[in-house]
Amino acid sequence: MNTFKKLSTLLLPVFLLVACGGNTGKNGDVAQLRQQIEKIKKEKTALEATLRDLEQQLELADPSAAKTALLVSVDTLQKGAFAHYIDLQGRVEAEDMAYVAPSGMGGLVKAVYVKTGQRVTKGQTLLKLDDAVARQQLAAAQQQTGMLKARVEQAQTILQRYENLWKQNIGAEISVVNARADVEALNAQLRAAQAQVAMAQEQVNMTNVKAEISGVIEEVNVKVGELFSAQAAATPGMGIRIVNNSRLKVVTNIPENYIGRVNKGAKVEIQVLEATSTPFTASLSVVGESINAATRSFNAEAIIPANPSIKPNQTANVRILDYKVDSTVTVPLNTVQRDEKGRYVYVVEQKGNRMIARKMSVITGEAYGGRIEIKAGLNNGQLLISRGFQNVYDGQVVKAVQ
């Protein structure tokens, strides 16, 4: 009877606090609510201790009560390897992709030599621009160069004649000097004209728009008679696009809270959806140095093996390894509980011919795949209560099955 009075005394303030809590919540007194919660937690612990004492007294008074041990499932703890991954989604991109654009000012398209799906090589001519004006300029420059060459030859002949006469003490030295100056001036003009020819030839060559990389023509959105320029080529849905699928990469965005945990060279498991049934491994070749202000993430890339079934813009599941330990104790994540003192689990200890549930405070580490690492508090070989742990208390008699 005395024990029942003690228990009632402990329970009464708990009920009163819960009943009063509604009014306090309405008044918005958060601090008082927190105080009440902490007080209830402490009294809950005291109640559990009282309950254990009562059950022990009951077992002494009625030995048959020991037969009502709670049935629980246990797992034997075994150290093993544990890894933590960052699970993300990425996209496949071509390492080599080029939008074809003219090198010069552009012009009217006279001919298109390729079509979608065609394989091309670097330097291959893809389309031809109107070169009429450029060829006229080239012809004019070549004509000017020819005229200057003739004048240079004539001036050199005159210079040679004056030099021969001067060696025979015939004529004036000024004639030789003037003839030599004429040759030098004409040679300078010839060099300038030859430069103009080279420039005009380059303009003609620019009307042949060529592939900058080898690959497959992905898009051809230009027609004969249209104006094709560098600006037009950069417009989405315009121009010609080449993709080289022999070198692909997976690009993903990593949340900024993982900065410092992901470095270049980190191991990655990648599975391209609808392309590969099993994941393959790669390593990060690029890790961004800045945070995107809009997404609060940084960029990472991994080169992936060539695979004809993988195409640019496909979606990929990406798992980045950011933590690994070779030997540690892990438990199912759902077996870890929390109270005002921290995290804990229940294990089973043999006490005489009985099995007793024991509450073990633990320090946890990383969690992944439904398991969590236990850094301190548990040892290899202990029996963890994996089922029924919600209904046990410290010191309770249990019947364990594996």
Residue located via tokens 């961004």: 288
Lowest-confidence region among 33-47, 146-160, 340-354: 33-47
Q: State mean pLDDT over 46-66.
A: 67
CATH for the stretch 89-95+243-323: 2.40.30.170
pLDDT of residue 106: 85
Q: What is the mean pLDDT of the chain?
A: 86
- Say if residue 40's pLDDT is above 70: yes
Q: Which of 304, 324, 320 is nearest to 263 (CA)?
A: 320
- Say if residue 23's pLDDT is above 50: no
Map out the domains of the chain as residue ranges.
Answer: 1-66, 89-95+243-323, 102-129+208-233, 131-206
pTM reported for the whole predicted model:
0.62
pLDDT of residue 229: 85
Whether 89-95+243-323 shares its CATH topology with 102-129+208-233 is answered no
pLDDT of residue 188: 94
Q: Which of 45, 47, 57, 62 is nearest to 7 (CA)?
A: 47
Q: Which of 385, 345, 342, 325 is nearest to 84 (CA)?
A: 325
Lowest-confidence region among 47-51, 150-154, 260-264, 391-395: 47-51
Domain 102-129+208-233 -> CATH class: mainly beta
